[in-house]
Amino acid sequence: GESVGLHLPTLSVQEGDNSIINCAYSNSASDYFIWYKQESGKGPQFIIDIRSNMDKRQGQRVTVLLNKTVKHLSLQIAATQPGDSAVYFCAETRAAGNKLTFGGGTRVLVKP
Amino acid sequence: DTGVSQNPRHKITKRGQNVTFRCDPISEHNRLYWYRQTLGQGPEFLTYFQNEAQLEKSRLLSDRFSAERPKGSFSTLEIQRTEQGDSAMYLCASSLGTSSNQPQHFGDGTRLSIL
């Protein structure tokens, strides 16, 4: 399939290790943040979200951290698996249901 | 499959032709969004609907672009007099619009190639 993110920053991680993907957002008025995973030839897939009244949220093998002071968002993936190889985007929005503004994306490559 | 469905998956056309894409959102979702994505970039917002009302349009949406959602269910995006710069992946997303933030769920897009 066609590659998504030909010139994106790349994070190479050994299978079984933890991954941390970082994102800086631009709008201090944003109050809702989402991480998406995008595989080649597919649309973005929802992973986890967090509201601005929280600084941490956990899902299955994933944790999102939000630091509003420095406008920074991170996604931690525990025990990274080959199926986690993809491009990861953070997205922000202000007010419910509004348009999303996406960050530049990070490619994650999991080495067996 | 009860996710967002987009058709066609691929469209190849000559410059100057008109194209139309269709999006079927998740059935109970009242909000529907269109985005455009080029290689190496994140999706960029084009427009969105709440039910049949088009509430916001990006400056990226030139007068050659028009989107409709006539019955508040499926939506179409038409590009008239296509140009090579229109080559991109066109993504549709839907969400349940309530007082709480709800995530947007995306389809797998329509890839447009202009010859």
pLDDT of residue A5: 46
Distance separating alpha carbons of residues B87 and B16, to the nearest angstrom: 12
Q: Which residues of A touch B93 (CB under 8 A)?
A: 43
Average pLDDT along chain B, 115 residues, taken 10 residues at a time: 91 98 95 95 95 92 94 96 97 83 92 96
Smallest CA–CA distance, residue B27 to chain A, in Å, is 17
* pLDDT greater than 50 at residue A48: yes
Q: What is the DSSP string of A38-53?
A: E-TTS--EEEEEEETT
List B residues 40-99 in contact with A (Cβ-Cβ < 8 A): 40-45, 48, 50, 56, 58, 91, 93, 95, 97-99
Does A102 contact B44 at a Cβ distance shorter than 8 Å?
yes
**Residues B85-104: tens digit of each pLDDT:** 999 999 999 998 765 678 99
If you count DSSP H runs as helices and E runs as strands, how many of each does chain B have, helices first?
Answer: 0, 11
pLDDT of residue B2: 79
pLDDT of residue A77: 98
Strands A72-77 and A86-93: unpaired
Contact, A4 vs A38, CB < 8 A?
Answer: yes
Does A100 contact B39 at a Cβ distance shorter than 8 Å?
no
> Alpha carbon A22 to chain centroid distance?
7
